[in-house]
Amino acid sequence: MAETFKNFIGGEWTDAASGKRFENRNPANRDELVGTHPDSDAGDIERAVAAAAKAFRSWRLVPAPKRAELLYRTGELLAQHKEDLAQLMTREMGKVLAETRGDVQEGIDTAFYAAGEGRRMYGETTNAEMPNKFAMSIRLPIGVCGLITPWNFPMAIPTWKMFPALVCGNAVVLKPASDTPATAARLVGILAEAGFPPGTVNLVTGGGGRVGTPLVEHSSVRLVSFTGSSEVGRAIAATCGQKLKLCSLELGGKNAQIVMDDADLDLAVDGALWGAFGTTGQRCTATSRIILHEAIAATFTERLVARARKLRVGDGLEPGSEVGPLVNEGQRESVHGYVEIGKKEGAKLLMGGKPATGGALDRGWFYEPTVFGGVTPSMCIAQEEIFGPVVSLITVKSFEEAIQVANGTPYGLSSSIYTRDVNRAHVAIRDIEAGITYVNGPTIGAEVHLPFGGVKDTGNGHRESGKQVLDVFSEWKSVYVDYSGRLQKAQIDEVKIQ
């Protein structure tokens, strides 16, 4: 039965002021209405930001270890509700149940990791350059943070942003993707149950233009954290730059897996299948290109295609399903458009290349796992992010050429190399232009205690996860304590050595 969800503003569940609502349907079965949600606008954002600003005044004064206790409680509640959350997530965005369980687990891990920072969050002490003077640096919260999150990881990515923001002492307004608002509502409800004070966590659902833009532009929002396309990220960065507002962007990827002539091919095929077709290719870290040394290209291709043909496409709630639907009709049309471009460019379609149909599949937005061979590095399908179950095979003659091809896109998020040569592995770690490099593993599988993010068009230099995310959600302050009892002029007074 469909649920009626609401916004969460100032500690209360509330409808959009306009009374408008939008539908949230199961991409595996468009006849199933998962729920309806407030179709909010700038007025709702105004109320949420005001609530967050009010809450921030007292929340910032709560000791960080006490803030962290609420995150520990949040992690415990997420663990208790893990299966229900996973089931809901699969119904609203499609990926198979094993993966949505992993998505929730990442939220649990993030809760406990971020809570630990409540007792760390270290500043630094250092020597002052003058006598009888003490110098140190400390972290302070920023204020109201606007968080805009995508649909492919509707639990993990909001927690990556919310939990460190909250433990640093900020208040947040979350605008989730319109394809996955139910998971966000459940998450915010758990935060409220854990005891976060009214106004520290706010949820406003609706479209990007009506909700996201007012959130980015609001004068009381001090920081915007966005995960999504590079095109939208550029627009957000421009607005934030004009308003001198802090901005953290995690954007697209065109990730490559290199397979060298000395690689364990069975292991490399395992990695390619998981990296290319996990989450139906709807990951910013998905393996979109596989760069093959010519000595093993034919053998690898044969094995990959044979294995990919056996992947079971189906409803993510059904046992045995390995590849769920794309998130909506528009995404399936976009993926198919890229497939048609690849065929016109002269790439060889080795398998797939069309919507998956027949029986229950006809009710959803399914697409066949698709493999292109004979792809050249300059082709559109080798340059642009497709965000679907489509992988391009590119053949090279040498390790050096493989690195050059891997670096030959505007993006730089994740990367992978399969080789038994430790020297090659370390050169790849050094020379691949990416924020993440795996050796003998697929391009997907980030862990929450390491920084996540990329270079070039993948972002603006910030990182999520790990202790590095604290630099996004806190400001550094330098503190000097002069206990000399007299005026000392830095860089002017001459300190005499007795």
- State the DSSP code for 197: P
Angle in degrees, CA 495, 497, 498, rounded to 5: 130
Query: What tokens were used for 66?
Result: 């006490």
Amino acid (1-letter code) at residue 147? L
Handedness of CA 429, 431, 434, 435 (dihedral sign): positive
Q: Give the DSSP H/E element, type plus range, for residue 38.
A: strand 29-38
Query: Both ends of the chain: CA-CA distance in Å?
Result: 82
Q: CA–CA separation, 489 vs 495, rounded Å?
A: 10
Q: b/e per residue, 142-163, with b = 16+ CB within 10 A?
A: bbbbbbbbbbbbbbbbbbbbbb
- The answer to whether residue 250 is catalytic is yes
Q: CA–CA separation, 347 vs 52, rounded Å?
A: 52
Q: Which of 250, 322, 368, 464 is catalytic?
A: 250
Q: CA–CA separation, 414 vs 435, rounded Å?
A: 6
Angle in degrees, CA 260, 262, 265, rounded to 5: 80
Q: Which of 217, 284, 322, 385 is catalytic?
A: 284
Is there a contact between 46 and 9 (Cβ–Cβ < 8 Å)?
A: no
Query: What tokens were used for 17?
Result: 């002021």
- The answer to whether residue 329 is catalytic is no
Handedness of CA 245, 248, 251, 257 (dihedral sign): positive
User: Can you state the percent helix, strand and coil of the chain, rounding each to 5?
Assistant: 40, 25, 35
Could you give the C-alpha distances from 254 to 126, 136, 258, in angstroms and in order? 42, 42, 13
**Residues with a known catalytic role:** 250, 284
